[in-house]
Chains A and B, each alone.
Chain A
Amino acid sequence: MNLAEIEAVKARAVASAMDAANAQDIEAVRIEYLGRKGLLPQIMKGLKDVAPEDRAAVGQGANALKNALNAALEKRLSELKANATHEGAPSAFDATLPGRWRACGTMHPISLVIEEAVRIFSRIGFTVAEGPDVETGYRNFEALNTPDYHPSLDNQDTFWLESGELLRTQTSPVQIRVMEKQPPPVRIVTPGRCYRRDTTDATHSANFHQIEGLYVDTDVSLADLKGTLAYFAQQMMGPDVNVRFRPHFFPFTEPSVECDFTCHVCLGKGCRVCKQSGWIEIAGAGMVDPRVFERVGYDAEAVTGYAFGMGIERIAMIKYGVPDIRMLYDNDVRFLTQFR
């Protein structure tokens, strides 16, 4: 047997050792190669037939075969021993047993909606801006053209703190922070937590999440706003969803609109979800009031802009069919694990 043949035998022998399923297999492999009638003694016997100049090399090869196989058998035996201590007796191959790998966790539905919304707006050039939950009355109200005698300044709706600050009632103060810091253009979305003194029920929660958007530039129109919200609606709720505007009032936009999305369940035919109207109210929006621009030092003659805001919980409830906002804050594992 020449050296190449011996190498081939070695490879085969080590492979059988690694495949051994139990101690009996290992013993069988050992006997096959190293036993008295095994392959190795035969090779040794055949040495005398090898050309003298090759004899030493072939002898070393045979020795290496022996060492390698012994090592492989020993390693396999200890593996099998270790396995046996962890899992009991080796069993027959059963592909129907449950798979064994840790499953991924799940994202909270509120985070799911926030991250999805941010991704959608990122695709059209919006970046995220954030601000603190504890805000000044100035940024939460006054800078947003909400005069100091506006009803929403009432203790009824706002959590004022002993420090004289408040828990922001909307994420709009972030818009003010950004505009105070940065000249136009501005193209931001602001997801975040807000607070209002609502008594908790199936659709109200004293803390909730909003995402707002602001785009300020030299020539921004209501039509741009409508197109942007239509794009968002389709990306978020489905390709057949459209938007419509209804006039409304917000202190910091003029004109102001409320934006309805086509009901994604019935696609406008009318169903229980949309109370038969075919539409679902989702967003408040409008063109930034020039008085807001003046507050932050922008030239209200030179720039225009739109702003919009949406409730995250509301979108989550509508999109996933969650009937009660309190479920979002109850954190029952059987609820959480549904949002994969």
Chain B
Amino acid sequence: MKVPVSWLQEYVDLDATPQELADKLTFSGIEVEGIATIGSDYAGVVVGEVRHMEPHPGADRLRLCRVFNGTEELQVVCGATNFEVGDKAPFAGVGVTLPGDFKIKKAKIRGEKSFGMLCAEDELELSDDHDGIMILPHDSIPGTPLSDILGPPDTVLELEITWNRPDCLSIIGIAREFAALYGTSLKIPEISLNEGTAPISDFVSVTIDDAAGCPRYTARALTDIKIGPSPLWMQRRLSMCGVRPINNIVDVTNYVMLECGHPLHAFDHALLSENQIVVRTAASGEKMATLDGVERPLTSDMLLIADSEKPVAIAGVMGAAGSEIQADTETVLLESACFDPRRIRRTSSTLSLSTESSHRFERGVNVETVDWASNRAAQLMQSLAGGFVATGILDVYPGKREPRQIKLELARMDRLLGVSAGVDRVVAIFESLMIPVVEKSPETVTVEVPAFRLDLDIEADLVEEVARMYGLAHVPDIIPQAKVVPNACDEPSRAIFSCRDKLIGLGLHEIMSYSFVSESLLNIFTEEDQAARVLLPNPVSADHGVMRNSLIPQMVECLGRNHSRQITDAALFEIGKVFWKDSEGAVNEEDRVCIGLMGKVGCGELEKRRTVKPDEVFLWAKGVVEALVSAQRLDKDTLRFTPAEHPYSEPGEAVTVKLGDTPLGVLGLLRKDLRHRHRMADPVAFAELPVTPLLGSVFTNPVFHPIPQYPAISRDVAIAVDQNVSHSAILKVIHEAAPVELTGIDLFDIFTGEGVKRGTKSLGYSLTYRSFERTLTDEDANGYHEAIKDALKRELDVDIREG
């Protein structure tokens, strides 16, 4: 909310710099987000009178004006159209410098000379308004310095009013805070109304059908009013608060709303059927066009202000189209009321319609001062628009309640705050806030909750009042005492941290992507999963329209993005959640780890120029998975990689990963078209595993196995075998033929090409034999080794290569 300091000073005496005021408020709970200076001395800007006006001969949208600046008439080319001959406006002649260091020079515009400028409000930095030049009151005298008319520059505090303090959504509310903070008194304007002879009952009757929705409704009537602009001082204040001036009646309703926080509504009485106001709920299927010209469907919990025939306003939100004050309105019906905040909130939310009025009603207004606001507005309207105020206020108040009391136990408060303010200070604080103290003792203080403090409900609310006024700087900072809570367990998160550490140790860089992706991206990867996708009914943008159901598409996008930035090699991982819908529509989520390898990441330093084969990249990714599984204390030897189709891979280029019988996810090479989108020539490998199975053994104890006592003997075997015989098939034969003394099999060479028969490959294995009971002899080793060679020849038809 914007609060001009000069306006504030009408209600409270303040003797402090704007910065001091701002600090005072901020440290008592109302954050000052900015301090703005509005206006300046406007050196050289004077009142100009438009004496003559004609079309610019060379431009349709410009006009030639003769402006009298108090001493002479000058030709000015002007683009605005919101004024007529005789109007007064701020005039900046040649040589004058406007705010923003804008110097006015003699100009020639489309061939016509111009000796100055008629100014719009934004050019004077009075507001953002650039809809036309600023029209000054008719009685302004040409040549008068603008600063004499506008007064000195003003300071505006920009406040963040928290949701619990609707009483601070007004100048008087803020003045009340300042009065409490500075220990001075609050000055509420005296109201003296000059009521006419006709009683209010001649103009309107009020019926409240829904008392829960409308605890209080008042009406006043003003007759014979003259609609016109409001005076400059009022317009200036409205502008400084961000409200646009319209006419004297509407401006008064807004002015009083800003002043005391009560939204008011002024109807043209002539449009009211049968002088009736009924506060009722909308009928189902009922519709209404609002002031902004939108036809709105109403629902049955919405509160309406209606006459005998039709709704004239959605209560507390917006008036009906056509019910507003017209230029020829003679009789005004002034509504000041109080509505149930929840109802206004729901209505405003359902209609997606938020106004200054709904903003206040949905937070709550002071039900006790509804009539004060009406009287205040009637007084101002009468003084600005003339006319008569009908005698009396029609006040229907079904929701009147006795004030509540809250008791505060001082000892409990002191313990909660960690500091003691003392009973005298506590009482003084409440009294300064105009919260009456009804009982006090050394142990307790009881207060009566004033009607303007809708937020005070329980003891803790009083503790907060004391804390913020006493000053949080008084709260000491106690060195924290570590405390062990029995049975507290954070192994799941520590396990994830460990998983992350391992991947980093393996040389991968961690990425983080949004939890949202675009449907179009997912569709490029596959359309098979559409039914299970979790769509966002109200996304910020279509790019973020669906919850991710795999980490892989964004991993690929990330690799692609880096590739387009000339980063061609990358080993990345992400740990994050994916989401999917089951057949019942329930949303599931799961932590996953995703690995993405691009380019020559697995190559040694001096082999980055060679071509990388797809199976190599695949095996790098497989190596990462194996290393991760092993580092997480799982048995890597139980990993199973089974060829399977995957929509992100070409046929035959993906495997499912299992750990024993536990499914562990997928590993594969990225489909070519998905790579080519990003012009990636080298193969890309990905893996995606659920995190949970990787975490189960992190906190198990490693178990010691005795270190072998006796030396090992190793023997190599080189075999030539059909291309299609797999490594695992060879291992299987070796294992079946091997004695228990075979303790290691290492593949040390794979070779095809020169010297190897077409269609075959040459593999070199180093076999390690060791006994746990004795030192093996060469003869022992040779015996085992020959048996294995025989088995390989027999089972797989291999050629044993000697040499």
Q: CB within 8 Å of B: which residues of A?
A: 87, 98, 100, 102-108, 110-111, 115, 118, 122-125, 127-130, 132-134, 147-151, 153-155, 159-163, 165, 167, 182, 185-188, 191, 193, 195, 197-200, 205-207, 217, 219, 221-224, 226-231, 243-249, 251, 254-258, 287, 289-291, 304, 328-334, 336-337
> What chain B residues lie within 8 Å of A185 (beta carbons)?
483, 485
**B110 at the binding interface (Cβ < 8 Å):** no
Question: Using a CB–CB distance below 8 Å, which chain B residues touch chain A?
Answer: 26-29, 31, 162-165, 341-342, 345-346, 349, 362, 415-419, 458-461, 463-464, 467-468, 472-473, 475-485, 487-490, 492-494, 497, 500, 503-516, 534-540, 544, 558, 561-562, 565, 567, 570-573, 576-577, 579, 581, 585-587, 589, 604-606
Q: In the complex, what distance in Å separates the CA atom of A107 from the CA atom of B502?
A: 11
When chains A and B are docked, how far (Å) is the Cα of A105 from the Cα of B467? 48
In the bound complex, residues from chain B placing their C-beta under 8 Å from that of A118 are: 493, 497
Contact at A226–B537, with CB atoms within 8 Å?
no
A200 and B540 contacting across the interface, CB-CB below 8 Å: yes
CB nearest neighbor in B for A257: B472
How long is the Cα–Cα vector from A206 to B540 in the complex, in angstroms?
A: 8
The reply to whether A329 and B514 contact each other, CB–CB distance below 8 Å, is yes
Distance in Å from the Cβ of A246 to the closest Cβ of chain B? 6
| CB-contact partner of B485 in A102, A186, A206, A255, under 8 A | A186
A336 lies within 8 A of B538 (CB): no
A149 and B342 form a contact (CB under 8 A): yes
Nearest Cβ on chain A to B23's Cβ, whole angstroms: 10
Q: Among A87, A105, A147, A334, find the residue whose CB has the most chain B CB atoms closer than 10 A.
A: A105
Chain A residues within an 8 Å CB radius of B27: 246-247
**A-chain residues with CB within 8 Å of residue B342 when the two chains form the complex:** 147-149
B538 A197 Cβ-Cβ under 8 A: yes
Residues in chain B near residue A248, CB distance under 8 A: 29, 31, 162
Residues in A whose Cβ lies below 8 Å from that of B477: 223, 226-227, 229-230, 243
Q: Flag if A193 contacts B479 (CB, 8 Å).
A: no
Cβ–Cβ < 8 Å partners of B562 in chain A: 331-333
* Cα(A100)–Cα(B260), bound, Å: 75
Q: Would you give the shortest CB distance from A218 to chain B, in whole angstroms?
A: 10
Q: Are B537 and A247 in touch, CB under 8 angstroms?
A: no
Residues of chain A within 8 A of B503, CB atoms compared? 105
Which residues of A are found within 8 Å of B487, using beta-carbon distances? 182
Could you tell me the distance in whole angstroms from the C-beta of B705 to the nearest C-beta in chain A? 28
Residue of A whose beta carbon sits closest to that of B484: A125
Give complex CA distance A107, B508 in Å.
9
**Closest 9 pairs (CB-CB, A-B):** A223-B418, A247-B29, A249-B162, A221-B418, A247-B468, A255-B464, A128-B490, A149-B345, A245-B472
Chain B residue with Cβ nearest A123: B482
Q: Are A222 and B561 in contact (CB under 8 A)?
A: no
Contacts of B493 in A (CB 8 A): 118, 128, 130, 191
Contact present for A105 and B485 (CB under 8 Å): no
Given contacts A118-B493, A227-B476, A329-B513, 10 further A-B contacts (CB under 8 A): A115-B500, A159-B536, A160-B538, A191-B493, A198-B540, A199-B540, A247-B468, A255-B468, A333-B509, A336-B509
- Complex: how many Å from CA A181 to CA B480? 25
Question: Could you give 5 example pairs across A and B, Cβ below 8 Å?
Answer: A105-B571, A163-B581, A198-B540, A206-B516, A246-B26
CA distance A98 to B606 in the complex (A): 10
Set of chain B residues within 8 Å of A105, measured between Cβ atoms:
503-510, 571, 573
Q: What's the nearest-Cβ distance from chain B to residue A113, in Å? A: 12
Q: By the criterion CB–CB under 8 Å, are B500 and A162 in contact?
A: no
Q: Are B476 and A223 touching (Cβ within 8 A)?
A: yes
Is there contact, CB below 8 Å, between B509 and A222?
no
Residue of A nearest to B534 (CB): A161
What are the residues of chain A within 8 A of B472 when measuring CB–CB? Answer: 222, 244-247, 257
Residues from chain A with Cβ under 8 Å of B362 in the complex:
149, 151
Asked if A133 and B515 make an inter-chain contact with CB atoms under 8 angstroms apart, the answer reads yes
| Cβ contacts under 8 Å, B581 to chain A | 163
How far, in angstroms, from A322 to B171 measured CA to CA in the complex? 40
Chain A residues whose CB sits within 8 angstroms of the CB of B537 once the complex forms = 160-162
A55 to B707, alpha carbons, bound, how many Å?
39
Query: Are B480 and A227 neighbours in the complex by a CB distance under 8 Å?
Result: yes
Q: Which residues of B contact A148 (CB under 8 A)?
A: 342
In this complex, which of A110, A231, A246, A251 has the most chain B Cβ atoms within 10 angstroms of its Cβ? A246
| Complex Cα spacing A255 to B260, Å | 26
Q: Which of A100, A104, A115, A290 contacts B507 (CB 8 A)?
A: A104
In whole angstroms, what is the CA distance A304 to B642 when docked? Answer: 56
Contact of B570 among A87, A129, A134, A333 (CB under 8 A): A333
The residues of B that contact A193 with a CB separation of less than 8 Å are 515, 576-577
Q: Which residue of B lies closest to A129 (CB)?
A: B490
Query: Is A104 a contact of B577 with CB atoms below 8 Å?
Result: no
- Chain B residues with CB under 8 Å of A87's CB are 606
Q: Which residue of B lies closest to A281 (CB)?
A: B31
Please state if B490 and A333 are interface contacts (CB–CB under 8 Å): no
Complex partner residue of B490 from A111, A127, A334, A337, CB under 8 angstroms:
A127
B163 touches A249 (CB 8 A): yes
Out of A110, A227, A228, name the residue touching B512 (CB < 8 Å): A110
| B463–A254 CB distance below 8 A | yes
Tell me which of A106, A124, A287 contacts B460 (CB under 8 A).
Answer: A287
Assembly CA distance A224 to B417 (angstroms): 9
Q: Which residues of B contact A336 (CB under 8 A)?
A: 509-511, 572
Chain B residues near A199 (CB-CB < 8 A): 540
Whether A331 pairs with B587 at a CB distance below 8 angstroms is no
Contact between chains at A125 and B510 (CB < 8 Å):
no
How far is the CB of A102 from the nearest CB of chain B, in Å? Answer: 5
Q: Distance (Å) between the CB of B752 and the closest chain A CB?
A: 15
Q: Which of B29, B475, B539 has the largest number of chain A CB atoms within 10 A?
A: B475
Docked complex Cα distance between A79 and B130 (Å): 85
- Nearest CB of chain B from residue A329's CB, rounded to whole Å: 6
A108-B511, A224-B480, A304-B415 are known contacts. Are A159 and B538 too (CB-CB below 8 A)?
yes
Given the interface pairs A107-B500, A222-B416, A223-B477, the reply to whether A150 lies near B163 with Cβ below 8 Å is yes
Asked if A133 meets B589 with Cβ closer than 8 Å, knowing A108-B512, A128-B493, A187-B488, the reply is yes
Assess whether A331 is in contact with B488, with CB atoms less than 8 Å apart: no
Cβ contact within 8 Å between B164 and A249: yes
- From known contacts A127-B490, A223-B419, A291-B458, infer whether A187 and B478 are also in contact, taking CB-CB under 8 Å: no
Q: Please report the C-alpha to C-alpha distance between residue A257 and residue B417 in the assembled complex, in whole angstroms.
A: 12
Q: Which residues of B contact A245 (CB under 8 A)?
A: 472-473, 475
Q: Is the CB of A124 within 8 A of B482?
A: yes
Q: Report how far A249 CA is from B476 CA in the complex, Å.
A: 21
A104 to B508, CA, bound (A): 7
B467 in contact with A332 (CB, 8 Å): no
Chain A nearest CB: distance from B358 CB in Å?
11
Residue of A whose beta carbon sits closest to that of B555: A331
Closest to A186 in B: B485
| One of B460, B539, B561, B605 near A290 (C-beta < 8 A) | B460
Complex Cα gap A262–B417 (Å): 22
A222 contacts across to B, CB distance below 8 A: 416-419, 467, 472, 475
User: How many angstroms from the CA of A104 to the CA of B490 in the assembled complex?
Assistant: 26
Closest to B544 in A: A206
Answer whether A255 and B31 are a contact pair too, CB < 8 Å, given A106-B509, A127-B489. Answer: no
On whether the beta carbons of B483 and A246 are closer than 8 Å, the reply is no
Q: For the complex, give the distance between the alpha carbons of A23 and B475 in Å.
A: 81
Residues of A within 8 Å of B480, CB to CB, are: 124, 224, 227-228, 231
Chain B residues within an 8 Å CB radius of A123: 482
- The answer to whether B544 touches A223, judged by C-beta atoms less than 8 angstroms apart, is no
Q: Is the CB of A127 within 8 A of B500?
A: no
